[in-house]
Amino acid sequence: MKKTVGFVTRHLFLAFLVVVWLIPILWLVVTSFSGYRGINTAHFFPETWSLDNYKALFLEPDSVVQYVVWFRNTLVIAIFTCIISTIFVLMVSYTMSCLRFKGRKGLMSFGIILNMFPGVLSMIAVYFVMKSIGLTNSHLGMIIVYSAGSGLGYLITKGFMDTISVSLREAARLEGASEAKIFLRIIIPLSKPMIVYTVINSFLVPWGDFVLAKLMLNSGIATDWTIAIGLFNMLGKSLINKYFSIFCAGGVIVSIPISILFVLMQKFYVEGVTGGSVKG
């Protein structure tokens, strides 16, 4: 009897937490089906239901809503960003973890400290650096901005590589394998969880960043934007009352691919987040 009560309370408590966590998400979803375009402040559930918001997203692009184009832009930027970032992170981590050379520790500390600088502040300088090479208002520029500095985020992956047994590498070396071969053939296949972790994290950056993107893509032409700028723009003073529910619909759609990614990769991601430390 006591056991059943414990069982029920435990699960009721969890269910309560889930409700707390999902209420805003639920509001997002139901508002996205609202027939009223502004913010509904009197009722949790919309008074009239409709699919108009989704229709507006996909079928009726106007000067404010270019959802399909934004989605494609963001997807392209995200794919290239995550490829370059992952390669950079792996390269730096391997160097720092497995290779021994002069100045390694200095470089490591330097990298960590450099990562501390508030990016919000150096943004304007980044903008002018990109402008002087003519890459503002271009998606190539966005890819560079998002991925160029990614090497600094090597710490967790390095921690993981530290745990890969050194004897593996030594054995390979005795067989005459070059460092490059060891990196490509031994370390990379073993780092699968880390690769997934880095891929997901870097893939998500362009979907969530609006400050930097807004600065770099400043032509005012909606078809250049990424999803984040586009959705953020809908909540501007003059638009919010006509576009709030469309914003919600946009938010729902963005979450779908990301949720799928998360659910599929959950296992690897957990291993990745905890890095090499797990094995300690």
Partner 1 sequence: MKKKVLAALLTTAMVATTLVGCGSSEAETPAAEETTEEAPAEEAAPADDAAAEEAPADDAAAADPVANLIAATTDTVTLTVWASEEDQDLTTTLIENFKAAYPDVTFEITLGSESESTAKDTILTDVEAAANVYAFADDQINELVTAGALQPVSASYTYDVAAANAVGAVEAATVDGTLYAYPMTADNGYFMFYDASVFTEDDVKSLESMLTAAEAAGKKVAMDISNGWYIYSFFQGAGYELTLNDDGSNTCTWNGEGATDVAQAIMDLCATGTLVDMNDEEMATAIAEGTVAACVNGTWRAETAQEAWGENYAATKLPTFNVAGKDCQMSSYSGYKLVGVNPYTDSKYIGWAMLLAEYLTNEESQAARFEARGLGPANTAAASSDAVQANPAIAALAEQAAYATPQRVGGNFWTPAETLGQILVDGNQDGTELQTMLDTTVEGITAPIE
Partner 2 sequence: MNKLKSIGNYFKDFGTAIVKGDIWVKLSLFIMGAGYIARKQVINGLIMIALQAVFAVMCVFYAAPNLAKFGTLGTVQFEQVFDPLTLISTVNDYDNSFLILLNSIISLFIIVAFILVYIANVKTVYRLQRNKEEGLHINTFREDIKALFNEKFHITLLTLPCIGVVLMNIIPILVLVAIAFTNYDQQHMPPSALFTWVGFKNFKSLFTTSVTVTFGYSFGKVLVWTLEWAFLATFTTFIGGILMAQFINNKNTKWPKMWRTLFMVAIAVPQFVTLLLVRNFFADSGIVNTICANIGLTDFLKDVGLVSEHLTYIPFLTNPSWAKVMIVIINIWVGIPYQMLVATGVLMNIPTDQIESARIDGANRLQIFVKITMPYVLFITGPSLITDFVKNINNFNVIYLLTQDVYVTQDQLLANSHAKEIDLLVTWLFRLTNEYYNYKMASVIGILVFIICAAFTLVTFTQMIKGNREEDFQ
Interaction site with partner 1 (CB under 8 A): 38-39, 41-42, 62-64, 124, 127-128, 131, 136-137, 215, 218-222, 233, 236-241
Q: Is 231 in the site for partner 2 (CB under 8 A)?
A: yes
The entry of partner 2, partner 1, none near residue 54 (CB within 5 to 8 angstroms by kind) is none
Q: Which of 256, 244, 249 minimizes the C-alpha distance to 207?
A: 256
CB of 6 to partner 2, least distance (A): 7
The answer to whether 27 and 233 have CB atoms below 8 angstroms apart is no
Distance of CA 201 to the CA centre of its chain: 5
Q: Is 76 in the site for partner 2 (CB under 8 A)?
A: no
The entry of partner 2, partner 1, none near residue 189 (CB within 5 to 8 angstroms by kind) is none
DSSP state of 9: H
- Full DSSP string of 109-157: HHHHHHTTS-HHHHHHHHHHHHHHTT-TTSHHHHHHHHHGGGGGGGHHH
Residue 95 token pair: 């160097």
The entry of partner 2, partner 1, none near residue 221 (CB within 5 to 8 angstroms by kind) is partner 1
Alpha helices in 209-239 (DSSP H): 211-216, 227-234
The residue within the footprint of partner 2, chosen from 57, 82, 156, 222 (CB under 8 A), is 156
The answer to whether 143 and 84 have CB atoms below 8 angstroms apart is yes
The entry of partner 2, partner 1, none near residue 185 (CB within 5 to 8 angstroms by kind) is none
CB of 278 to partner 2, least distance (A): 5
The entry of partner 2, partner 1, none near residue 28 (CB within 5 to 8 angstroms by kind) is partner 2
Q: Is 141 in the site for partner 2 (CB under 8 A)?
A: no
CB of 175 to partner 1, least distance (A): 56
